[in-house]
Amino acid sequence: MLDHSTPSRNFITLRDEILERSHLKEWEKAKLEWSLVAIYQSEENMECLCGHYPIREICEIANEKTGHTVEVGNVCVKKFLEIDSNKIFAAVKRVKKDINKGLNKDAIMHFHKVGILND
């Protein structure tokens, strides 16, 4: 049986890398310094900050206290920032395929927050 209370190696790597770039050094407080600033689909395989390879759905996150930015995979953003970036990626793919399609609530909220969309 798997023990889900024990952090995975990838999570430990992600946590250590994020803490190294954070102002605060306690995980629960440090992760509040970070926010999603951009997403994109990479043409080439990339490696997540946690060490997972390959990733193509890239999320750029920034620390408002230190100014650090890093690129992580879609799965890590979901675990780390508790943002369902899958919905944002799905909306972007849908609109790229058919410009007449609309964005979903998650995509609209994210794009408004980062200044891509305005009122």
pLDDT score recorded for residue 110: 81
Task: Check: CB of residue 118 under 8 Å from CB of residue 112.
Answer: yes
If you search the block for the tokens 């190696």, which residue do you land on?
Answer: 9
Q: What is the CA radius of gyration of the chain?
A: 15
- For residue 7, the model assigns a pLDDT of 79
Residue-range domain boundaries for the chain? 9-83
pLDDT number for residue 5? 63
Phi then psi for residue 50, to 5 deg, are -80, -10
Predicted confidence at residue 41, as pLDDT, reads: 92
Strands (E), the chain: 34-46, 55-63, 69-73
Contact of 18 with 30, CB cutoff 8 Å = yes
Q: In the block, which residue shows the tokens 């058919």?
A: 98
Q: What is the pTM of this model?
A: 0.80
Mean pLDDT by 10 residues, the chain (119 residues): 69 96 96 93 96 96 97 91 85 89 87 84
pLDDT of residue 1: 42
Cis bond upstream, residue 54 (ω within 30): yes
